[in-house]
Structure 1
Amino acid sequence: MTSKTVPHLVWHPAAVTKHDRQRLYGHKSCVLWFTGLSGAGKSTLANAVEQQLHERGLHSYVLDGDNIRQGLNRGLGFTPEDRKENIRRIAEVAKLFVDAGVITLTAFISPYREDRELARGLLEPGEFVEIYVRCPLEECERRDPKGLYKKARSGEIGEFTGITSPYEEPAAPELVIESGAMSVEESVRLILAYLTQRGVIPEQD
């Protein structure tokens, strides 16, 4: 699916800007883009990070791949073309959330580098934080929380990332989380420390 610019449309500037909202909330906004194989722990980690942000009184929201496919992206399959459209749509939604001053956490396999770079290109420098949740395929299959690997191996599911469809590892992610070796708590601390160091969130009192 290709996107086209509709003629005669003019961007309408907002009276309240992203920076106005960030000043009101007391923190910057950005996208934490969790990418990795199914079963690597993306959703678990994204939700654990958001819980900590929420407890600190910071504005955040998780956009989860499975949840988005039940609404906004319902009807999209898992062909390369549909995967690209899936990520294009969520990238645009994430951009809107950042404009709203929200720390946005996206948990999507997003297997193609080109699509992740498209998402990065929609945002200002420093607003896109690619977090590679790296976990060996064997460990992801051992976990198999949704039983998807078993179905993919039996041929019940086609176009499955890591089995019958490729996953392109990030070339230069901002963070790499070794989810096969690190605990969720350790991983959350690493991410929060990064956000603090980059000035996205204030230091905890």
Structure 2
Amino acid sequence: MAIADNIWWTRKARIQTEKRLLSNARHAQLLLLWYSFVSVCASIYYLRFNTQSGYANVVWVMFSVLVLCVSGFISGLSYKERAAIVKDGYESMNSLYRKSQKGNADFDEITKEYEQILNLSENHADIDYQSALCVTYLNHNCPRDPEKGLDRRPTLYVWLAVIKWFFIRSLFILMLYSLPLLIFLAMKVSGVSPE
């Protein structure tokens, strides 16, 4: 039954991987849209209100070049394609898990098939497995009952790692969204922008 448990938990971790990759794709697209919008607005603002400031124009041209470079970098990461491959893998694991639950299951064959499915896509990150532990524990009907419950439970370390990851990720995303506004404010405070 250990192979069935491994398949089940790997599937849960890969589901978290897909969610993380799709979230990254969504934020990347929103950030590119936001940065492009702010860049255009800043260019119009400085053309209209501060035509003498050479620094502001240089800063916003550099920002526009950054947006262009980041868009190429993000397309190279191919988040959506990777998420689709991971999804295909965990869907294949679902049928393999059902096969492993049968009384007459050939565990050697199941193990080989499991290893083949694992090799089809990238491995999940540690945080994906830890998130899967926490989410499953919170959503399970009887997480504390050893007879009906889960074979694995999140430890205090896992809870803290997931909370820390969520906090750092949220802070990083907030910083990325506020970067153009911080640049504008820094220019305003430094006297590059008009009063």
Is the shorter-chain TM-score for this pair beyond 0.5, marking a shared fold? no
TM-score, structure 2 normalization: 0.33
TM-score, structure 1 normalization: 0.31
Greater fraction helix: 2
Q: Is the radius of gyration larger for structure 1 or structure 2?
A: 2
Greater fraction strand: 1
